[in-house]
């Protein structure tokens, strides 16, 4: 059996502007629903989101998962919320469970998309780094072939070792197709002089 509107009204509380509703890392046994007003969500000192839409749930992770608060919430203006204690959540979920589940699913989806984007960005950066190491090793190799200087040989060995480490233990492919036009020209000139 769910809560009536009259019963829900008993959970309404109004807070002044710039009130800290809860702090990141703090204990949490209450779920909040914005009735009116607006809030800032902070991670550390950085504002990561604004909550302005009436009916938005927040603070649900702590009472549902038994974990500490993952962010700090501060009011931007005089704001009213329903402050639902954990013991009343069972009754509330009967009425609003689908909406709460949808909110949690949307947040999980957004987090998953951020994680995928971060992974893709890391992979792209890894590929660029490998390409740059390949170019560097190829150029030093050509200089050594032309000069046969011991210092250049030491630099070449060191560059190969660093390239090996940077590519996750794979030997660099010295493929001229991956070089930019300037490096292709330089390698070509070294080959013709040799």
Residue labelled with tokens 């909406």? 99
Record the tokens describing residue 107, joined without a space.
Answer: 């947040």
Model confidence pLDDT, tens digit, residues 130-180: 777 777 777 888 887 778 888 777 877 777 777 666 555 555 454 444 455
Percent of the chain past pLDDT 70, that is, above it, reads: 72
- Cα distances from 154 to residues 151, 158, 159, 183, in angstroms, run 5, 6, 9, 21
Strand order across the beta sheet in which 12-15 lies: 12-15, 79-85, 30-36, 57-58
Cα–Cα distance measured from residue 92 to residue 101, given in angstroms and rounded to the nearest whole number: 12
Q: What is the pLDDT of residue 151?
A: 79
pTM for the whole thing? Answer: 0.52
Whether 193 shows a pLDDT value over 60: the answer reads no
Q: Long-range contacts made by residues 142-149, C-beta under 8 angstroms, separation at least 24? A: 142/186, 142/187, 142/190, 142/191, 143/190, 145/190, 145/194, 146/190, 146/193, 146/194
- 23/152: higher pLDDT: 23
């Amino acid at each position: 059996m769910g809560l009536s509107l009259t019963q829900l009204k008993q959970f309404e509380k109004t807070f002044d502007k710039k009130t800290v509703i809860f702090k990141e890392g703090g204990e949490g046994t209450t779920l909040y629903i914005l009735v009116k007003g607006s809030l800032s969500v902070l991670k550390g000192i950085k504002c990561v989101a604004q909550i302005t839409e009436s009916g938005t749930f927040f603070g649900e992770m702590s009472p549902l998962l038994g974990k500490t608060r993952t962010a700090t919430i501060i009011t931007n203006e005089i704001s009213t919320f329903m402050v639902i204690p954990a013991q009343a959540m069972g009754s509330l979920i009967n009425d609003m469970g689908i909406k709460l589940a949808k909110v949690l699913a949307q947040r999980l989806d957004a987090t998953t998309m951020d994680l995928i984007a971060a992974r893709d960005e890391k992979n792209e950066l890894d590929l660029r780094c490998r390409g740059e190491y390949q170019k560097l090793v190829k150029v030093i190799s050509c200089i050594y072939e032309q000069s046969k200087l011991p210092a250049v040989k030491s630099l070449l060995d060191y560059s190969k070792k660093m390239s090996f480490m940077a590519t996750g233990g794979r030997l660099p492919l010295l493929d001229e197709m991956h070089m930019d036009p300037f490096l292709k020209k330089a390698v070509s000139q070294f080959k013709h002089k040799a």
